[in-house]
Amino acid sequence: MPRTLHEVVFVDGVRTPFGRAGDKGIYAQTRADDLVIACIRELVRRNPSLPPERIGEVAVAATTQIGDQGLTLGRMAALLSGLPSTVPGYSIDRMCAGAMTAVTTSAGSIAMGAADVVVAGGVEHMGRHPMGEGVDPNPRIVSERLVDESALVMGKTAENLHDRYPSLTKERCDAFAVGSQRKLSEAYAAGKVQPDLVPVAVRSVEKGWGLATADEPPRPGVTMADLASLSTPFRPHGRVTAGNAAGLNDGATACLLASEEAATELGLPVKMRLVTYSFVGVEPEVMGYGPVPAAEKALAQAGLRIEDIGLFELNEAFAVQVLAFLEHFGIADDDPRVNPWGGAIATGHPLASSGVRLMTQLAAHFAEHPEVRYGMTAMCIGIGMGGAVVWENPHHADYRSSTNTNTDTNTDHHHQQQQEQQR
């Protein structure tokens, strides 16, 4: 029997302020699961028309699934958030793209009609659980030369990507990093970031109890001269530094997804429509290249071109990774469509949580730019992968017609592209 697939929409997204990992970070005395619980509770509070029992799934990602990030975190977080015991949950790991995968996997449940509304997000407490804690990589992956040893150290893969793209100099990466810090500082000054931040009660040995209300990693006012003096820890005389890469961070995100029908029924806002998504594998030694083929595949699936994308939220694990994407597609380093509020170099990158931060910010950009119809969130993923999600702006004049005829339109566009290539 043929099944009707449901349109999936992004309803709302929140995150905690991101902190610096380590004993002096704001979350040094805070549990990882409590961070994501705060996000789930805030989503429920912000959307009072949503009966909690209508949530059909809670998917929470974590890269290091141990301790307070283990034990089927999605289910535990659902219970601890006060959701009814009838709401199921599960955990996901796709390293940096954990939250992104929580969204796309949950979207599949909605599209198939298995759930009307889901909560998807991610958390990473890198101060409490450093990346790789407790893992035991099979030695065959190196001894049998399936990958180069550098593939297991993300900073080294970034240096390898520099080798592949000699035009992406350290100076270009430093300039991009300075721009990221500046844009985030400007966004904070304009009050753009704060509406989706969840204040978190925190405790430190020195200061006692307090409230985390802003990101801790940013370095506003940093200059090219400041970055030029930093060491290159992954290679002598290298190009990757602490200044042009995301740091080690703690934080959590969560979002609400729904079928378009459920959003209408429950009076929930529709901030974006999910068009399509793609995950691909690349050589692990240059994992930062992953967003390029992921974006190409997603665009082909949607029958779109890179020129159709009016806003980008690209995860800044390393400046060179973003610049490789921009160079491949012929986009300028300082294109205003890219990361309008800065990115992970300034904000921080608590691994599995970052995908939803990108989506939440893209939704806010869509509201400010009704002239933009399509946007993309994309990121590189450890061990050689990339992910990309294409979204449509409900504020665009053609949005309603696209949801009614999207499949036919995209198919025709794709066939037209194929005919042009054959000519």
Residue 213 lies in a domain: yes
Q: What is the pLDDT of residue 186?
A: 98
Q: What is the pLDDT of residue 98?
A: 98
Task: Indicate if the pLDDT at residue 420 is higher than 60.
Answer: no
β-strands 55-61, 117-125: how paired? parallel
Domain that holds residue 388: 8-128+146-392
205: which DSSP letter? T
pLDDT of 55-91, one tens digit each? 999 999 999 999 999 999 999 999 999 999 999 999 9
Category of 276 on φ-ψ map: left (φ > 0), alpha (ψ -120 to 50) or beta = beta
Q: What is the pLDDT of residue 170?
A: 98
Closest CA to 316 of 219, 177, 197: 177
Which residues are known catalytic residues?
96, 349, 380
Per DSSP, the chain holds a count of helices (H) and strands (E) of 13, 12
Closest CA to 188 of 222, 223, 213: 213
Per DSSP, helices labelled H in 68-112 are 73-80, 98-111
Residue 184 lies in a domain: yes
254: which DSSP letter? E
Give 413's pLDDT tier (boundaries 50, 70, 90): very low
- Residue 206: partners with Cβ closer than 8 Å, 6 or more residues away: none
Backbone angles phi, psi at 332, to 5 degrees: -65, 150
Q: What is the pLDDT of residue 412?
A: 45
Integer distance in angstroms from the first to the last C-alpha of the chain? Answer: 39
Residue 400 lies in a domain: no
- Residue 265: partners with Cβ closer than 8 Å, 6 or more residues away: none
Tokens for 194, please give them.
């704060």
> In this prediction, what percent of the chain has a pLDDT beyond 90?
90
pLDDT of 11-60, one tens digit each? 999 999 999 999 999 999 999 999 999 999 999 999 999 999 999 999 99
Task: Indicate if the pLDDT at residue 422 is higher than 80.
Answer: no
Residue 410 lies in a domain: no
pLDDT of 264-294, one tens digit each? 999 999 999 999 999 999 999 999 999 999 9
* Dihedral in degrees, nearest 10, Cα atoms 355, 359, 361, 366: 160
Determine the Cα–Cα distance for residues 76 and 287; give it in Å rounded to an integer. 32
Residue 404 lies in a domain: no
Measure the CA angle with vertex 389, ends 386 and 395; round to 5°: 155
Task: Indicate if the pLDDT at residue 388 is higher than 50.
Answer: yes
β-strands 55-61, 200-204: how paired? unpaired
Q: What is the pLDDT of residue 401?
A: 60
Which range has the worst mean pLDDT, 126-130, 200-204, 242-246, 400-404? 400-404
Q: What is the pLDDT of residue 33?
A: 98
Residue 133 lies in a domain: no
Which range has the worst mean pLDDT, 178-187, 300-309, 349-358, 402-411? 402-411
Task: Indicate if the pLDDT at residue 349 is higher than 90.
Answer: yes
Give 410's pLDDT tier (boundaries 50, 70, 90): very low
**DSSP 3-state of 89:** strand
Residue 58 lies in a domain: yes
Choose between 422 and 252: higher pLDDT.
252
Residue 136 lies in a domain: no
Number of domains within the chain: 1
| CATH number (domain holding residue 202) | 3.40.47.10
Tokens for 182, please give them.
């500046």
The average confidence (pLDDT) of the chain is 93
- Residue 180: partners with Cβ closer than 8 Å, 6 or more residues away: 316, 319, 339, 342, 343, 344, 345, 346
Task: Indicate if the pLDDT at residue 231 is higher than 80.
Answer: yes
Backbone angles phi, psi at 90, to 5 degrees: -155, 170
β-strands 8-15, 272-281: how paired? antiparallel
How deeply is 322 buried, as exposed, middle or buried, from its count of CB atoms within 10 A (0-12, 13-18, 19+)?
buried
